[in-house]
Structure 1
Amino acid sequence: MTALVLGAGAANAGETGTIIGSKACEEVAKMYRDMGYTARCYHIHGDRYYVNFEKPRPGALPSTGSAGSS
């Protein structure tokens, strides 16, 4: 499955643009985690989500990720 990210050019640092579907959001979050970031999906509204990601502090435990809501 290919994730659809809308408005990525307007995203804030550390956040993706809008992602359609929770499964697609989890796939994008996993890609960031595979690159060494902590990443978590957040629900915006309806079927829209975004991923918040950041490089972990040295010695911090890695994120397992989770679909959350804000």
Structure 2
Amino acid sequence: MLIGGIAVAAVGLGAGPANAGETGTIYGRKACEETVKMYREMGYNARCNNINGESYYVHYDRPKPGLRPSTGSAGSS
């Protein structure tokens, strides 16, 4: 998927060890928030993290079994 001029790999929902990760650099806050929304729709907890200026990345992880994914706002650190 191409968001904000940066390619973002879609996350496979099959069984496997990838329960947490980070995207590559995403340009623009809006593009980052759209990426967070995509990951949350797939059942991940996700949040935007500011690298510098308009550069962001998304950290995502799977919630523990029985817990619902986060629906809070996308924050930056």
TM-score surpassing 0.5?
A: yes
TM-score where L is the length of structure 1: 0.76
Distance 1:21 1:52, change over 3 A: same
Contact 2:36-2:47 at 8 Å conserved across structures? yes
Could you tell me which runs of 5 or more consecutive residues in structure 1 were left unpaired when the two chains were aligned. none
For residues 44-63 of structure 1, the aligned pairs below 5 Å read 44-63=51-70
TM-score where L is the length of structure 2: 0.70
Number of residue-to-residue matches in the alignment: 65
- RMSD of Structure 2 on Structure 1 (CA): 2.2
Would you identify which runs of 4 or more consecutive aligned residues in structure 1 move more than 3 Å?
none
Q: Which structure's residues are more often helix, by fraction?
A: 1
State the identity %: 63
Distance 1:43 1:55, change over 3 A: same
* Structure 2 counterpart of 1:55, one-letter code: R
Offset, 1:7? 8.8
Offset, 1:59? 2.1
Could you tell me which runs of 5 or more consecutive residues in structure 2 were left unpaired when the two chains were aligned. 10-19
Distance 1:7 1:59, change over 3 A: closer
Distance 1:7 1:36, change over 3 A: closer
Larger of the two Rg values belongs to structure: 2
